[in-house]
Structure 1
């Protein structure tokens, strides 16, 4: 059967990275996963298809999957197994960070964009998958050329 995991929300995530069979074998296993998931009263099935596997999109759509999101070279589809299942929407927000850099009692600030803007902490947005601490250090370095050490949020 296809490699899959069940999360704490009772949802299934399929993993196709290591699947080595034919498309017909995949279809057989996909149908089996759907049926087993229904019997076990799972809520959703998630599948992410990298560019090399997008030929499988029609097969997934024929079995009730719908498009959820696309990012970079991946398309994410979801199958709602129960009417009351909640499908979270795609991210609509970004996380911003600012570095409070203090050395010998002096606070590091940068000039904001535009002539009339006031000084601000160096900062910016966190990249997808990036840790907050790494984002702060990166943003401080990008805006000031200064390497520093992360202490706490």
Structure 2
């Protein structure tokens, strides 16, 4: 079985802006997830990547509590939180063999997404090294339009 053809960043960006995503209608999924997190905060947790990066220890504690397995004082003191954050870090996940090999096909086999392409640098704002200012401005307008009135902001 052949793998889908590579796609350029310009083409991928255009498709994404039009609502085409290998994993479904991104904007609809994102907004629905946000709204469910507001309606059912005990059942649905919404996290932004920027929040995770800015304070992974706080997010780890928040997630453990959300899952009803909060860290004990003993675990906090013995470094369990540090270990969990380390195991879940961008660097750790990026270096897993499963994320370095193979990939997934989408769009009836027309698009092949290598697992490794889901990991660039893990740095907030790194988009400026890959996208033009025009693309960034278009994305800002699109995000504002798609999430208008929802309370979700970036």
State the TM-score bracket (shorter-chain normalisation): under 0.3
Name the structure where strand makes up a greater proportion of residues: 1
Q: TM-score, normalised by structure 1?
A: 0.21
